[in-house]
Amino acid sequence: MRALLGDRPAQTPVWFMRQAGRSLPEYRALRSQGTMLEACLDPALASEITLQPVRRHGVDAAIFFSDIIVPLALLGIDVEIAAGRGPMFSRPLHTAADIARTVAIDPASLTERGGAITDAVARTTAMLAEESERRGEPLPLIGFAGAPFTLAAYLVEGGPSKDHMAARRLIHTDRPAWDDLTSWLAEVTGRFLALQIEAGASAGQLFDSWAGGLHPDDYRDAVLPSSVAALAHARGLSLPDGVDRLPLVHFGVGTGEILADMATPDIDALGVDYRVPLDEARRRIGRDLTLQGNLDPALLFAPEATRTAAVHRILEAGHAARAHVFNLGHGVPMDADPDAITSVVRTVHDWRAP
């Protein structure tokens, strides 16, 4: 939390997006029955999955085990997470009438429908407190939500897409419908993030899988306002006594051309994917934020010497920013060797600036 808010601890903190990442055998054993969505909505299962990589790898924070489509499922939208494919919607939003029908659902109902999420967060923070006592250092929980554009892209496509053509087309052919959809999704995902924070998460991350597929002008005009609105839900929450600011992180994939746009005043840290070195990202941003990232996940498969050298380069580049939280430049691959992940954590913790 100190690093996210701009302090620079002697030891660089590290956590990984998609920490379980289907790479842990203990995760696969838990997930051998039932669907991904069922696991996300089972508080006992979700909390245990959240803790598994914390225990295994010795990372400095937990990321809440969830999926970006969970709030949509809670609101009654028919979706499943297909193995090897991702979210699949039975009724894609192809028309303005489809969008109007969907945005009529009240996002405020997440509060009453999200009991499984608040229960899972409460269980997780209690388990983290026990792990923190064992380690002798605090272990925060980071809340997680999908950005409005990524959710919109899935909804209008009906599932994953290589080029997000349906979403990009809708921006230009029916802007009022697009604005209605993304404004609604801003409230949905903002409330979902707020739900986790109010239940005990210490920070929040907004994850935009597909923002990098947009022209920068389209991102600024048609997408960024909804992400800002989503983050505003978390930023506007009442804070516990003694807490001055809740750290918020914004991350997107392939966003090298829009990093400066994503670095809005309401965030504390910007996640950078593996395509842009951290010192170059700092130059592009133009202001001093904490940077998060950004080892290429492919390097988890490299020889140890190659991997260690890459980690050191990233740690050195991270000194261009006010503070640095080490992470991958995307999620943990499902076939990564857990021992390689643990080795990266040790390398990061052992490193000290020259």
Which residues are annotated as catalytic?
A: 18, 22, 31, 67, 154
> Could you tell me what percentage of the chain is helix, strand and coil, using 3-state DSSP and rounding each to the nearest 5?
50, 10, 35
Token look-up 């489809």 returns 98
The Cα 10–Cα 8 span in angstroms is: 6
Task: Work out the number of other CB atoms within 10 angstroms of the CB of residue 218.
Answer: 17
Using an 8 Å Cβ cutoff, are 329 and 295 in contact? yes
Question: CB burial class (10 A; 0-12, 13-18, 19+) of residue 298?
Answer: middle
Phi/psi for 112 (5° steps) reads -85, -25
Q: Which of 149, 143, 191, 194 is nearest to 167 (CA)?
A: 149
Task: Work out the number of other CB atoms within 10 angstroms of the CB of residue 244.
Answer: 6
Helices (H) and strands (E) in the chain, counts: 16, 9
Instruction: Spell out where 17-155 has E strands.
Output: 62-63, 79-82, 86-89, 141-146
